[in-house]
Amino acid sequence: MSAGSAWSRFQKIRGLWVEAITDTICAELYAGGIDVITTGNHIWDRREIMAYIAGDPRLLRPVNFPQGTPGNGFGVYALRDGRSVLVVNAMARLFMDALDDPFASVERVLGMHPLGQVSAILVDFHGEASSEKTSMGHFCDGRVSAVLGTHCHVPTADHRVFAGGTAYMTDVGMCGDYDSVIGMQKVAAVARFVRKLPGERLEVSQGEPTICGVLVETDDETGLARAIWPLRLGGKLDPALPQAALPKVAAPAK
């Protein structure tokens, strides 16, 4: 999917957006070319997702929820060329919900599906503390293709490939309007801090969005990373479109 078509699809999806994932949003994302959806601490905000997630193997919830939680925290997905990718979704614990140990949970999954049995491994580590995220990166170094942090809504500038060959970035950033307070309309959000009183319900900011992400190039033989580049398109943030991707990715639609 080109950046232009992704841009158009994202603008349509924003009209449906709420804090939590829904089956309608999943359908829109899949229609736009998304292969797998990872989540985090807002996964259960819409209770109807509990029944839906069990029947959708492409929608993941953090793997370190207690045993018996609906849905899956990882999946192995087939590529068109016959190769396979393991995607693991885990959630940190510092300043977050007190879930099971994410390191032990990730270790268990990597033991079942190591590189070599799968062509590449992506770990989405959803968390608040950069120290915990960086620790997960080093914990997985040499054993996964990439550890990418989410949750903080802003892209960090520390993308790099660790010594063992694992690509890492503390936070990929959000896809949304950055003229906001982490994606929410800023007037009501600021008022909550100033007044220290409950205020009006926070609403998603509808300004021009930025698509944030990363591109990771992996070695076909080892599955480890050769390079990682940040990707930013549109909106208020400075654009970042890797030169290596220019022949493959079109400019955003106007």
Taking the complete model, does pTM exceed 0.85, yes or no? yes
pLDDT at position 242 is 81
Give the CATH architecture of domain 3-175+210-237.
4-Layer Sandwich (3.60)
Bridge partner residues of 78 (DSSP)? 84
Strand, helix or coil for residue 139: helix
Q: Which residues are catalytic?
A: 42
Tens place of pLDDT for every residue, the chain, 254 residues? 344 454 455 544 444 445 579 999 999 999 989 999 999 999 999 999 999 999 999 999 999 999 999 999 999 999 999 999 999 999 999 999 999 999 999 999 999 999 999 999 999 999 999 999 999 999 999 999 999 999 999 999 999 999 999 999 999 999 999 999 988 899 999 999 999 888 788 888 889 999 999 999 999 999 999 999 999 999 999 998 887 655 554 444 44
DSSP characters over 33-67:
T---B---TTTTSSTTHHHHHTT-TTBB--TTSPT
pLDDT at position 116 is 95
Going 253 to 60 to 248 to 140, the CA torsion angle's sign is positive
What is the phi-psi region of residue 156: left when phi exceeds 0, alpha when psi lies from -120 to 50, beta otherwise?
A: beta
Contacts made by residues 245-252, CB under 8 angstroms, sequence distance 24+: 245/215, 249/2, 249/3, 250/2, 250/3, 250/4, 251/3, 251/4, 252/3, 252/4, 252/7, 252/211
